[in-house]
Structure 1
Amino acid sequence: MTEALGIHRLRTFDSAAEAEAAVLAAIAEALSAAISERGQALWIGAGGGTPKPVYQQLATLDLPWDKVTLSQVDERFVPVDDAASNTKMMAEAAAAVIVKGMRFDTLIRDLSDAGLCAQQAETLLCGFNDGNAPEFDLTLLGMGPDKHYASIFPGHAINATVYDTEALVLPVAPASGGAEPKLPRITLTVKALNRSRRIVLYITGQEKRDALMAAIANPNPDTAPIGAFLAQCPVPVDIVWCP
């Protein structure tokens, strides 16, 4: 079932297997088109448990993986071999296509300072476009039940700047009082995410669907970051959901 949400659409599937197949089909279409048109493809993905099975199934796609680069929407500011690192999860989950030649670049470049790391990550991404702001052929986003996306959390000070900053990557300080994020992070900004040719938002479970619909109804950036993002996003977002 498909439901229009302004310029965006919500596609509902009965099972995780069907939803994952839809996400994989979107990835294949976007990367194939990029390779046909420009000779290479650049895409970015979310961490967390929801997209992990998608990364694990990438090898089922018939693509010239040596022409594909994957990077990240955001990352915790921890060593890449840390249990909390999405770099570790993504590299392990996508191992079958990495050995086929896909390049995987983490946002974590230098652990001495989060601000410096963000600057280095921005330089890395701009390197894919001759030093200019990159364009992503596909962005795979996730969302938490608290309505956060990337590392843009409700109630966090970053919401005051992330929609207007010219930066492509920012450091995110831990929240106070035990709120998320508990660890420092690095995140792509709204300006960076808006430079996607295609965006897929993949969520599962009734709690996240309810949170998404509430966020769309009241897109306050401080309380519903994903709603604020969708409200301003110039790219039609393909929202894929299953119970």
Structure 2
Amino acid sequence: MKPWLLVSPANRGLGLATARHLLSTTPHPLLATSRSTAESNLRAALLKDLPASTCSRLITVTGVDVTDEASVEEAARVARERFPPAEFRLGVGVVLPGVLTVEKSVGQVDYERALWSFRVNTLGPLLLAKHFLGFLPRESHRLDSPSLPLQASLLLTAARLGSTSDNRLGGWPTYRASKAGVISLARTLDHEVRRASGDAAMVVAYHPGTVKTEFSRDFWGSVGGAGGSLLEDGVAAESLGDEVLP
């Protein structure tokens, strides 16, 4: 089976860096999504400093708003049309929707903002999984690619703050809970995938570290000092690639 790749969303930050890393290190077609970025602008960002003659033909761009299931379903239709399942299977999928809601204590929780966080951070990956898990290889399929591992993967971006065992300070209740949900989802979905795929595919929750993007701008100073772990998006994308590429 021929592999294809998914990065959702891929228009900025770690998503953009990850999509560019996959384009530069594998020869496989990529489905890149964005909620609002124009296709031409996203293509230009993806192709910056890459060989356009080679990479441009690999890119398919489609819109996805993870709070609108119809748009996720339409993206899956585009994928099915572009990558017919009889010939193609999803080799690597990277799911990154996220918003950051910060509360120092439970008294600062705003219901509407908290609800939006769960819709994006937790239900967003769930809806993407609902419509894209079926593209992963089945037990009888094997990906034909030396640039990808034999085991296909769907990565759901989690966060260390979503860890229950590592929660030593409290705070940030909405963000913590929404990312804890992602970790639980990944475990649950992995069981479901393995029933259909055996060891041909897996679902994992992935903590990319604190990445220097607009998403984390307000907290650069607290993690980027001496001995800090603030990562440039390109470095974080390479680290992610190390987890899913041979």
What is the TM-score of this pair, normalised by structure 2? 0.45
Q: Which has the larger radius of gyration?
A: 2
The structure with more helix, counted as a fraction of residues: 2
